[in-house]
Homo-oligomer: A and B are copies of this chain.
């Protein structure tokens, strides 16, 4: 089962997002955990690899079970760990092999094109107290079929 860790850096009212060329969707920098890594190590390593800068005070904000369904069948399932940070040390890449990087006003999380589950995830991470837990159910084309959340302080 895949484990994905991503990290949303928030600095001066802006968030650092990666725009991926395939769909034009925006994501928080991140990627696959490696064997033996903690989720914290994976989030920080992936963020550094994709941005060339270090996140300040990273902390977990969400843990999500992501399920891909084809009809009634579960065809894939993975875990997503979302961290936030109080900005970064240094100046991020403008682009990397995954796409283009830029700072966006926090409000744009409501309107930028992205997977609908990512939107809920990043809005929670950037604006709410506590930790969110949940499940996203998608089609193979990343159409959101269902989502459920729980939170704690």
Contact = CB atoms under 8 A, between A and B. Distances in A.
B67 A36 contact: yes
Interface residues of A, number: 33
A59 to B, nearest CB: 4
The interface residues of chain A, by DSSP majority, are classed as strand
Given A36-B65, A60-B63, A77-B36, A41 B152 contact: no
Interface in A29-84: 33, 35-41, 57-60, 63-65, 67, 74, 77, 79, 81
Number of copies: 2
Interface in A109-153: 130-131, 133-135, 137, 148-150, 152-153
A3 interface: yes
